[in-house]
Every structure is written in structure tokens, then in C-alpha cells.
Amino acid sequence: MTLPFPSRPLPALLVLSACLLAACGEQSDTAPSAAPGGGLPAMDAPLIVRLGHVAPLTGPQAHLGKDNENGARLAIDDLNAEGFQIGDKPARFELLGEDDQADPRQGTTVAQKLADSRVNAVIGHLNSGTTIPASRIYHDAGIVQVSPSATNPQYTRQGYAGAFRVFADDVQQGGALGAFAMKNLNARRIAIIDDRTAYGQGLADEFEKAAKAAGAEIVTREYTTDKATDFASILTKVKSTSADLLFYGGMDTQAGPMARQLKTLNLGIPMLFGDGGCTVEFHKLAGEGAEGHYCSLPGVPLEKMAGGTAFRDRYKAKFNTDIQLYAPYAYDAVRVVAEAMKKAGSTDRMKFLPELEQINYPGLTAQIAFDEKGDIKNGAVTLYQAKAGAWSPLETMGGDATP
């Protein structure tokens, strides 16, 4: 773990106390005005690009937050190792990793902190619930924000020019899931469970719309929470409706045990869920109950992308753990920002924002281009099936999912 914020508070404190001891005039000005990218440093000094990264590093979603941060960190290390140049100058990327605890209030606090330190761009946040309130602060401060994983459509529909995401939103992914359920799984009677979080409910609602539009019947809509471990009673309810498919809107931490409990209840219908359950962890959590279920991930399978498997191996080597979920998207988010800066030859937001809007960059997870809202264009969604303890890709649904 590197320092989240090495230089600021302590020196400022020292300066302050120094000022109290001896009346100092200009010294106190140095701390706040040392903004990066101003071009003041000596001729050959590298251009410092500071990127903020925000995700929950404590609490129940900490493992995902750490994963995102690792993805972003890997991108930064790569950029520095490549000798990435911006405007003919070697650039040195720095990451300021912050913890928002998946709490909206903490989210705005760290957003303000990143705004204060005038980072060149922010990668994050992980959750929609923190991304949306934070986006207002970044917008006011004129900071570009690229979320690798927030899926709530609202985020990019607030009219903020600097808000982007490299991930299919709920509408895109829910639409693809709905089409898949009807076309490929031939589901006619679908039961839906969601975890009453912004993510789970949002995705489940969009799935319901898409499935209904395609002619499926939603036989029951049940609910759980993102902390629950016991799903016996709602699954029994699902059993009583003789559904032929169970859609779950939520994370792997519930989807896994739920798949297991399906089995103990003798309920042999397939489950379908979105990216939140599409993890390595799901197989561990579901055990032998994992086999045969379906999930979706935005983008194209890592194996099919140039450098995808290499990325997986390098990640494992560097952090000594497997990719949890969104690390490749966080990696892409950093790379796409760097690419826009390179094209603009500047780290100034006014200069690289137009480039980011126009970008067409071959990322790890997809060919990345943004529509006018800042959402990823033509967000492809890939469907996977659990086979022998791993997710094997079935089909990539390229999509004009956005209406």
C-alpha cells in the first residue's frame, strides 16, 4: 500500500506552525500553489500527471475496491515503464488512491479532497451511489471523471461534460440480458430477485423491461439484501411459481450462496445475472452449485483481446491474487485518459476533454469510444456460462442497446 497522500497535510501543518513561531511571509504560499502540470519545473523534468482513484477500500465491498485500485495501479506502472510521452515530454503518472467506504458522504469528502489537490482526472468511483454525488463536485471543479464500474444510467445523464464510463450501463446490460434470456435460454416464465441496492435494483428493473418487451412473463419479483446469506424462503416462493429461469440482480457474494441453496432446495432452474456475479469468486462461493448458470460482462472476453491474457498473468504476478471483477475496466479507464492527454499533448482538461470525447481506443475490454452522454458506444456485452469451475464465453452481443 503506498501513501494515499504523501506530501500535503504534514508539510502544511509544519508551515503553519512555522508561521506561528516566526512571522513568515511568502513561505506559506508554496504548499497550496504547487499544482501539477503547470509546466513550471525545469526543462527535462518529467511531466507529472496525477490521477485520483476512488473505491471502497474498507467494508464489505473492499475486495472489489482493492481490485479496481490494483487495475488502475497496473495501468499507471505500465505507462511509466513505457516512457509514455505527452506533448513530447516524458510523463510520470501518479495515483492518489482514496477510500469512499461505498458511503455517499465519504464519497463527496474524498471527491473534494481530489478536487483540492487538482488531480488531472479521476478514475472512479466504484458504486453508482458514490459516483453520482461525487460527479457534481468534479464537475464544479472542472475535473474529468471516468468510472470503470458505476452502472446507474443517471450518472452520465446529468449533463456533465466531463463524466464518462467505460462500462455498459444498466440499460445496455439489462437489455442484452433480457434478449439473451428469451432468444438463447428460451425462458418464458422468469422469476426476478434483486438485492435492493442501487446496482441490483437498477439492473433487475432494466432486465424486467427488456424481458417483458420480448414477451416473457415475470412470474414473481422477490427481494433480498446485499448482506443476506439465507435465501431459502424466497427461493421456495420462486419454486412455487414454477419459473423456468431465475434472474438475480446483485453481487457474487449473494449469487454464489443462492446458487448453492437452489440445489439444497431441489430447484433445478438456471440462474442468470449481471457483472456483479460474473466473478471467479462466484465459483468458490457456489461450490458444486455453480455449474450451468449464466452471467454477463460488458465488453469482450479478455482472452479475445490483444494483451488480455497477458494482463491477467501480470496482474496475478504483481498483486499475488486473481482479478476480482472490474480491474480490467479500471485499467482501461486510466489508459483511455492517458491516450486523450497524449493526443491533446496536454494534461489540461480544456485541451484533452475534446480528445476524450472523440477517442477511439483499443482497450483491454473493448474498443472504447464514447457517445454524446459519455457512455461507452456500442457497449458490447458478453454472456458466459459456468462450466467446470470457470466462466466460459458463449456469445458476445454487440449492441445498439441505447434507445
Partner 1 sequence: MTLPGDPKLRARLGIVLIGIALAVLPFVVGANFGNSWVRIIDFALLYVMLALGLNIVVGFAGLLDLGYIAFYAVGAYLYALLSSPHLATAFPAVFASAPAWSVWLVLPLGALVAGLFGVLLGTPTLKLRGDYLAIVTLGFGEIIRIFLNNLNAPLNLTNGPQGINNIQSAEIAGQSLGRSFELFGLQIPSVTAHYYFFLALTLLVIFICVRLQDSRLGRAWVAIREDELAARACGINTRNVKLLAFGLGATFGGVAGGLFAGFQGFVSPESFGLLESIMVLCMVVLGGMGHIAGVILGALLLALLPEVLRWGAAPVQQWLFGKVLVDPESLRLLLFGVALVLVMRWRPAGLWPSALRKRELAAHAEVA
Partner 2 sequence: MDIFIQQIINGLVLGSIYALVALGYTMVYGILGLINFAHGEVVMIGALTALTAIGLLVPSGLPGPVVVLGGLLIAIPVCMAVGFSIERIAYRPLRNAPRLAPLITAIGVSIVLQQLAMMGWGRNYHTFPAILPTTPHQVFGAAITDLQILIVVTAAVLMAALLWLITRTRLGRAMRATSENPAVARLMGVDVDRVIAFTFVLGSALAAVAGVMVAANYSIAHYAMGFMLGLKAFTAAVLGGIGNVGGAMLGGLLLGIIESLGAGYIGDLTGGFLGSHYQDVFAFFVLILVLVFRPSGLMGEKVAERA
Q: Closest distance between partner 2 and the C-beta of residue 217, in Å?
A: 15
- Residue 8, amino acid: R
CB-based contacts of 241: which residues, under 8 Å, 6+ apart?
189, 191, 219, 220
- When computed from its CA atoms, the radius of gyration of the chain, rounded to whole angstroms, is 22
Strands 189-194 and 361-362: unpaired
Specify the residue, 75 or 132, whose C-beta has the smaller distance to partner 1. 132
- Identify which range of 5-13, 254-262, 280-288, 365-373 contacts partner 1 by CB under 8 A: 5-13
Question: Cell 472490474 appears where?
Answer: 326
Specify the residue, 221 or 377, whose C-beta has the smaller distance to partner 2. 221
Backbone angles phi, psi at 295, to 5 degrees: -150, 170
Q: Closest distance between partner 1 and the C-beta of residue 135, in Å?
A: 9
Q: Closest distance between partner 1 and the C-beta of residue 395, in Å?
A: 30
Residue 276 touching partner 1 (CB under 8 A): no
Alpha helices, H only, 119-245: 128-141, 170-183, 198-213, 232-240
Backbone angles phi, psi at 286, to 5 degrees: -85, -15
- Residue 245, amino acid: L
Contact between residue 232 and residue 261 where contact means Cβ atoms under 8 Å apart: yes
Specify the residue, 2 or 320, whose C-beta has the smaller distance to partner 1. 2
C-alpha cell at 225: 439484501
Q: Which partner, partner 2, partner 1, none, binds residue 220 by CB below 5 to 8 Å per kind? A: partner 2
Which helix (H) or strand (E) is 147 found in, with range? strand 144-147
Q: Which of 35, 82, 116, 322 binds partner 1 (CB under 8 A)?
A: 116
Each residue 59-88 as x (binds partner 2 by CB under 8 A) or -, in order, gives xx-xx--x----------------------
Q: How far apart are CA 334 and CA 330, in angstroms?
A: 6
Query: Site residues (CB under 8 A) for partner 1?
Result: 1-6, 8-10, 12, 15-16, 28, 31-32, 57-58, 62, 99, 101-105, 108-110, 112-113, 115-117, 128-129, 132-133, 136, 140, 152, 154, 158, 196-198, 200-202, 223
Query: Site residues (CB under 8 A) for partner 2?
Result: 59-60, 62-63, 66, 196, 220-225, 227, 229-230, 232-234, 236-237, 239-240, 253, 256-257, 260-261, 263-266, 281, 284-285, 287-288
